[in-house]
Amino acid sequence: MKIRLAEEKDYQRVLDILNEAIEARKFTAQLSPATMKIRKPWFVQHSGTRHPMFVAELDGEIVGWTTLTEFRSGREGFRYTSEISYYVDSRVHGKGVGSMLMKCAIEAAREIGFRNLVAIIFDSNIASQSLAKKHGFERWGHMPDVVDIDGNNFGCDYWGLKL
């Protein structure tokens, strides 16, 4: 498996993986399918050096991705904190893809100069919580029942890592 910076040719596959998570209704609070038109500015934002996107490539296919995103956009006091997001194709869950992506993103965050990483994880997403713990994240906060997906309520936990 190879982890590398995302390229424009990868964008549709990134959207496919995100849309799989949206359709599952248990990993993201985004409820509408992601489209290239809507996500194009997001891809542009994640093509620079400050907030990169990485993809995991297995046998020539993108099977996961991670981003470093501006935390609390427009609030300069958070300039040393970044939000990390990661999504993995369900066909390869539990095969180390998320761990490789997480390791890459943490290394990149250190090189960029971030001091903190924050992951926002549903309190029901035990696999993602385990991944965060494995890489040194600790639960920094909990927001009970703040997400409503089709009448099902989920809490969100803020997981943090000091770099």
Residuewise pLDDT in 10s, the chain (163 residues): 999 999 999 999 999 999 999 999 999 999 999 999 999 999 999 998 999 999 999 999 999 999 999 999 999 999 999 999 999 999 999 999 999 999 999 999 999 999 999 999 999 999 999 999 999 999 999 999 999 999 999 999 999 999 9
Res 80: pLDDT: 98
Which domains can be identified in the chain, with CATH numbers? 2-119 (3.40.630.30)
**What is this structure's pTM?**
0.95
Residues in contact with 74: Cβ distance below 8 Å, sequence separation at least 6, in sequence order: none
CA quadruple 70, 144, 136, 15: dihedral sign: negative
Rounded alpha-carbon distances, angstroms, from residue 116 to 14, 52, 130: 25, 16, 19
Res 16: pLDDT: 98
Burial (0-12, 13-18, 19+ Cβ within 10 Å), 144: exposed
Res 7: pLDDT: 96
Res 121: pLDDT: 98
Res 57: pLDDT: 97
What does DSSP assign to residue 113? T
Burial (0-12, 13-18, 19+ Cβ within 10 Å), 103: middle
Reduced to 3 states (helix: H, G, I; strand: E, B; else coil), residue 62 is strand
Query: Per residue in 30-67, is it b (16+ CB within 10 Å) or e — as a string?
Result: eeeebeeeebeebbebbeeeebbbbbbbeeeebbbbbb
